[in-house]
Amino acid sequence: MTRPDHPGTRRHATIGWCRVTPRVALVGANGHGRWHRRSIAELQAAGALRLVAVAEPQPLDPDPPLPPDTAVFTDHRELLATARPDVVVIPSPPHTHLPITLDALAAGSDVLLEKPPVRDLTEHAELTDAVRRTGRLCQVGFQALGSAASAALFRTIADQKLGTITAVATIASWRRDDAYYARAPWAGRRTVEGRPVVDGALANPLAHALMQCLAAADAAGAGQPLSMHLERYRTRDIEADDTTFARLTFDGGLRLMAAVTLAGEDFIAGEVIVRGTAGRAILEYPTDRLALRGDPEPVLVPGRTGLLENLLAHRTDPEIPLIVPLTRTESFTAVLQALTSPDLTAPTRLEPPHAERRGAECVIPGINAVLRQAAASLALPSEMDIPWAQKPTLVRIPPIHRHAHR
Judge whether residue 265 has pLDDT over 90: yes
Q: Count Cβ atoms within 10 A of the Cβ of residue 249 and give its class: 0-12 exposed, 13-18 middle, 19 or more buried.
A: middle
* Alpha-carbon separation of residue 239 from 102, 288, 349, 373 (angstroms): 29, 33, 10, 27
Span 372-395, mean pLDDT? 97
Q: How far apart are the first and last CA of the chain?
A: 27
Query: For the chain, what is the mean pLDDT?
Result: 93
- Bridging pattern class, strands 165-175 and 263-276: antiparallel
Which residues on neighbouring strands pair with residue 138, listed in sequence order?
Answer: 111
Amino acid at 332: F
Closest by Cα among 20, 21, 82, 22 to 55: 82
Clarify whether residues 119 and 133 are in a common domain.
yes
- Residue 200 near residue 289 (C-beta atoms within 8 A): no
Cα(332)–Cα(212) distance, integer angstroms:
10
Helix ranges (H only) for 247-366 are 307-316, 330-339
Peptide bond into 85 cis (omega under 30): no
Query: Are 292 and 387 in a shared domain?
Result: yes
Q: Do 132 and 154 belong to one domain? A: no
Going by the DSSP 8-state scheme, the letter that residue 177 receives in this structure is B
Q: Mean pLDDT over residues 237-252, rounded? A: 97
Q: What is the pLDDT of residues 33-54, one digit of tens each?
A: 999 999 999 999 999 999 999 9
Q: Regarding beta strands 23-27 and 87-90, do their DSSP bridges make them parallel or antiparallel, or are they unpaired?
A: parallel
Q: In terms of domains, do 100 and 161 share one?
A: no
Residue 8 has pLDDT above 50, yes or no: no
103 and 245 belong to one structural domain: no
Least confident of 9-18, 20-29, 64-73, 248-257: 9-18
For residue 198, the model assigns a pLDDT of 86
- Dist. CA 169–CA 256, nearest whole Å: 5
pLDDT at 19: 63
Per-residue confidence at 154, pLDDT binned at 50, 70, 90?
very high
For residues 70 and 119, membership in a common domain is answered with yes
- In DSSP terms, 234 is beta-bridged to 349
Average pLDDT over residues 208-230: 98
- Nearest partner of 162 among 298, 6, 293, judged by Cα: 293
167-176 pLDDT, tens digit per residue, is 999 999 999 9
Question: pLDDT, tens digit, for every residue of 81-133?
Answer: 999 999 999 999 999 999 999 999 999 999 999 999 999 999 999 999 999 99
Percentages (nearest 5) of helix, strand, coil residues in the chain:
30, 25, 45
Amino acid at 104: A
Domain of 139, CATH number, reads 3.40.50.720
Q: Tell me, yes or no, whether 237 lies in a domain.
A: yes
Q: Are residues 241 and 373 in the same domain?
A: yes
Do 106 and 154 share a domain, yes or no?
A: no
Dihedral of the alpha carbons of 82, 83, 85, 89, in degrees to the nearest 10: -100
- Number of helices (H) and strands (E), helices first, in the chain? 10, 22
Domain that holds residue 94: 7-143
**What is the pLDDT at residue 184?**
87
Q: Which of 222, 224, 241, 223 is nearest to 233 (CA)?
A: 241
The answer to whether 262 touches 242, Cβ cutoff 8 Å, is: yes
Q: Are residues 175 and 246 in the same domain?
A: yes
Within 28-177, strands assigned E span 50-55, 71-73, 87-90, 110-113, 138-140, 165-175
- Residue 292's CATH number: 3.30.360.10
SS3 154: helix
Last residue of a domain, one of 143, 170, 195: 143
Q: Residues 233, 359: one domain?
A: yes
Quote the number of domains for the chain: 2
Alpha carbon distance 178, 91 (integer Å)? 22
Burial class (CB in 10 A: 0-12, 13-18, 19+), 364: buried
Residues 87 and 104 in one domain: yes
